[in-house]
């Protein structure tokens, strides 16, 4: 069981990292959308490529973040009955859901989507819109996202089985009190501090360098 729990922690770490990058994709899509609106308003022009890259980024962000969302238990769920049950029964419901519903769903999507992505890649299929983008990159988000979701589903299944066997902590506890917006703000702050530190180091290095002699 301990080996499976190590695998579960590795999957959790993977989806946590992917989720952090997905946040930046949303920010990039928002910036591109704003710039496209400004260009269209000021210069009375637009590009289908800009429009399509927005929903490419949006598709990638919410598909690859599906596993991250499951990790933090933020998927929409109706707990009218589940919330009235004991902790053990709630965990059993999750076990059945992950094993009998989520896993077959993800495998089915992977089975159906992979041939489509391969065909689009081999044919180089383009958007039907003038100036549009190549199609396979956005379709590739489907198998990637559902692979991450499938892995996270197995991770959650492992944690719940460990809990039922008395070999793991409560899997229903909240991992963090931070929202996605708070995490984005924190990431921006850390990036700004890192950039400032690099700039200061570069300035100090330039000032400390000896002047060339002629």
Task: Please give the pLDDT value at position 207.
Answer: 61
Task: Please give the pLDDT value at position 40.
Answer: 82
Spatial CB neighbours of 17, under 8 Å, sequence gap ≥ 6: none
Q: Tell me which of 44 and 144 has the higher pLDDT.
A: 144
- Which of 41-50, 75-84, 86-95, 111-120 shows the lowest mean pLDDT across its residues? 75-84
Q: What is the mean pLDDT of residues 73-91?
A: 75
- Which of 72-76, 138-142, 178-182 shows the lowest mean pLDDT across its residues? 178-182
Residue 209 has pLDDT above 60, yes or no: no
pLDDT tens for residues 150-205?
999 999 898 888 888 877 666 676 655 566 566 667 766 777 788 788 888 878 77
Task: Please give the pLDDT value at position 177.
Answer: 56
Q: What is the mean pLDDT of residues 108-121?
A: 92
Burial, 124: exposed, middle or buried (Cβ in 10 Å; 0-12, 13-18, 19+)?
exposed
Average pLDDT, the chain: 81
What's the predicted TM-score (pTM) here? 0.74
Spatial CB neighbours of 83, under 8 Å, sequence gap ≥ 6: none
| DSSP H stretches of helix in the chain | 2-43, 48-64, 66-71, 87-97, 103-123, 136-164, 180-208
Distances (CA, A) of 54 to 98, 133, 138, 193, 210: 32, 11, 11, 28, 48
Task: Please give the pLDDT value at position 183.
Answer: 65
Query: From CA 139, how far away is CA 100, in angstroms rounded?
Result: 26
Residue 146 has pLDDT above 90, yes or no: yes
């Amino acid at each position: 069981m301990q080996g499976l729990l190590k695998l579960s922690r590795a999957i959790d770490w993977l989806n946590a990292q992917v989720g952090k990058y997905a946040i930046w994709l949303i920010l990039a899509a928002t910036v591109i959308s704003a710039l496209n609106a400004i260009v269209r308003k000021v210069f009375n022009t637009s590009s289908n490529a800009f429009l399509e890259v927005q929903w490419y980024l949006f598709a990638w962000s919410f598909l690859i973040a599906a596993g991250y969302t499951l990790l933090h238990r933020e998927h929409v769920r109706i707990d009218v009955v589940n919330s009235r049950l004991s902790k053990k029964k709630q965990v059993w419901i999750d076990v059945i859901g992950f094993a009998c519903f989520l896993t077959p769903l993800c495998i089915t999507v992977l089975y159906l989507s992979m041939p489509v992505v391969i065909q689009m890649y081999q044919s180089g299929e383009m958007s039907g819109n003038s100036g549009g983008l190549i199609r396979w990159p956005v379709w590739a988000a489907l198998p990637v996202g559902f692979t991450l979701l499938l892995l996270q589903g197995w991770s959650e299944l492992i944690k719940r089985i460990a809990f039922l066997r008395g070999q793991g902590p409560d899997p229903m506890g909240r991992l963090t009190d931070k929202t996605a917006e708070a995490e984005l703000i924190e990431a921006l702050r850390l990036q700004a501090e890192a950039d400032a530190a690099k700039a200061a180091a570069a300035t100090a290095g330039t000032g400390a360098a000896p002047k060339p002699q002629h």
